Structure 1
Amino acid sequence: MGRTDRASLLIHVDPPTVFAALTTEEALLRWLAPAGMRSRFERFDMREGGSYRLVLTYDDSSGSPGKSSADSDTSDVRIARIVDGERIVQEVDFESDDPAFHGTMRMEWNLRAVEEGTEVEVVARDVPAGIGARDHAEGITSSLVNLAALLEP
């Protein structure tokens, strides 16, 4: 059993708007990559039972080399469950020669309507040992901040 990491952020828009940004390729490309990275999909099939292959490339990899190559992190993501407007469960495998990044991480994106908008909670279970807790928290939080910046008026 691996580590579990969590992060959440209140986004001041309704759940359907947030859910659309979590499930459309164009929106994901605009917000998912944490600060200092850019993203591209090699394939994209966002539906329950679908999958996508995501490549995150570091703007400057000198301080933190990638998991998959000197400057990138590549992951294969399977969509285990989608509850429309509420929840997405993903199973993530990192492409890496380093055993510290092996294993399947389970990412849960949960949306909860609140008076002020939508609380977005991310729960990452069985986080591979090679992913530092602080780095992971910073990355998830950065992505959530990007999501808010994209959606909030």
Structure 2
Amino acid sequence: MSRTDRAVRMVAASPAAVYEALLDRESLEAWLPPEGMRGRVERWDPRTGGGFRMALTYVDPAGAPGKTTDATDVVDIGFAELVPSERVVQRAVFEADDPAYAGTMTMTWHLVGSDEGTEVTVTAVDVPPGIGQADHEAGIASSLANLASYVEAPH
């Protein structure tokens, strides 16, 4: 059965600034990896139909259940839809031998502007069963906290 995971965060920045951080290679490397991980973009094509490949490495691989290797998760992300300052729809496929991580997960980053900034809602559907829901939602929330810190800070 299909599972949906979700996280929401108010970010004190404009929808345009948040959207830009979703589509900038260096920005993604800085904020997308959740706590305890580092990320490296290996391929980059920021357009509808394009996408990127990211290697996420556990800072402390002891006991880390990497999907690709013991210490890494490698994911291919395709940009299914890009609507400036409103939404980014991604299709994510993990590089893994374990069938529990197989399939395509769709992640929608929905941006709604307000006087306080931008409410960012991340909805993941068709989450592979090997990814624990509580861990996944905590990871998304961690990435959203990183995103907020990144776009709220002067560069």
The TM-score normalised by the length of structure 1 is 0.97
CA distance in 1, matches of 2:20, 2:87: 12
Gaps of 5+ in 1: none
**Which residue of structure 2 lines up, in the alignment, with residue 24 of structure 1?**
24
- SS of equivalent residue, structure 1 residue 127: coil
Aligned equivalents of 2:3, 2:48: Cα separation in 1: 25
Question: For each residue in 1:11-49, what CA deviation from the matched residue of structure 2 results, as whole angstroms up to 9, or x when unmatched?
Answer: 011111111111100111110000110000110111101
Count of aligned residue pairs for this structure pair:
153
Aligned mates of 1:71, 1:65 — CA distance in 2: 7
Counterparts of 1:135 and 1:80, CA distance in 2:
25
The aligned residue for residue 46 of structure 1 is: 46
- Cα deviation, residue 65, structure 1: 2.0
Once the 2 structures are TM-superposed, how far is the Cα of residue 63 of structure 1 from its aligned partner?
2.3
Q: Distance in 2 between matches of 1:67 and 1:2?
A: 20
Q: Equivalents in 1 of 2:79, 2:15: separation in Å?
A: 19
In structure 2, give the amino acid aligned to 1:98: D
1:2 matches 2:9: no
Divergent runs of 4+, >4 A? none
**Structure 2 unaligned spans of 5+:** none
Instruction: Report the counterpart of residue 74 of structure 1 in structure 2.
Output: 74
Provide Cα deviations, 1:57-107, integer angstroms capped at 9, x if missing partner: 001121222000010000111111001111010111000000000000000
Where does residue 130 of structure 1 map in the other structure?
Answer: 130
Equivalent residues in 2 for 1:73-152, closer than 5 Å: 73-152=73-152
Distance in 2 (alpha carbons) for counterparts of 1:137 and 1:64? 17
Cα distance in structure 2, aligned partners of 1:28 and 1:51: 12
Quick one: distance in 1 between partners of 2:19 and 2:34? Answer: 19
